[in-house]
Amino acid sequence: MNEVKIHRPQIQNRNAMNNASNSIRPEESEKYIPEEIKSAAQGLEAQFNELMVKEMTKNLNAGVQGTAGNFYKGLLTSERAKALVNEDSQIQKLILNEIYPKHMRNSQNYQNYLDNKNKYAQHNIKMDEGPTQPSQEVAIKRKNQIGVKYE
């Protein structure tokens, strides 16, 4: 039999990519997802659930009025949405596939992520609150302004 050769590199790359993505089983690929990405997917799922619960209960409690009633209803809705979030939901898997695709989930990428995370974790940037009173330089500049009197 004659062997068919493909002369288009983009098709060869796509075949190689398909073979590489099939080599990692889905169960194994989930261990290479960083915890921050998983928690982001859970947060997005909670927001989706909150929107869904809010729409479902829109006309249910029409009698609750006022600031306190709205606040309580908002808390109840957000807690119900959080209760709907679980580890292996399909919504979360869809979100994970969008923000961290399966072809990126391998040991090398995960190790690079951990190395960079540790490298940047060493640089703790601390932001202090600025002065509450104007500094002496500002007070001097204000005194020297023409037409303005400061007492």
Domain range list for the chain: 9-120
CB 45 within 8 A of CB 127: no
Name residue 5's amino acid. K
Tokens of 76: 């109840």
35 phi and psi angles, rounded to 5 deg: -60, -35
Please report how the helices 35-56 and 90-99 are oriented relative to each other, as an axis angle in degrees rounded to 10. 130
Q: Compute the radius of gyration of the chain from its Cα atoms.
A: 28
Phi-psi domain of 7 (left: phi exceeds 0; alpha: psi -120 through 50; beta: other)? alpha
What local confidence, expressed as pLDDT, does residue 85 receive? Answer: 83
In sequence order, which residues have a C-beta less than 8 Å from that of residue 24 and are 6 or more positions away?
A: 102, 105, 106
131 phi and psi angles, rounded to 5 deg: -65, 140
CB 77 within 8 A of CB 46: no
The stretches in the chain having pLDDT less than 70 are 1-2, 4-27, 61-64, 121-151
What local confidence, expressed as pLDDT, does residue 14 receive? Answer: 52
CB 44 within 8 A of CB 95: yes
Nearest to 45 by CA among 93, 101, 105: 93
User: What CA–CA distance (Å, rounded) separates 24 from 29?
Assistant: 6
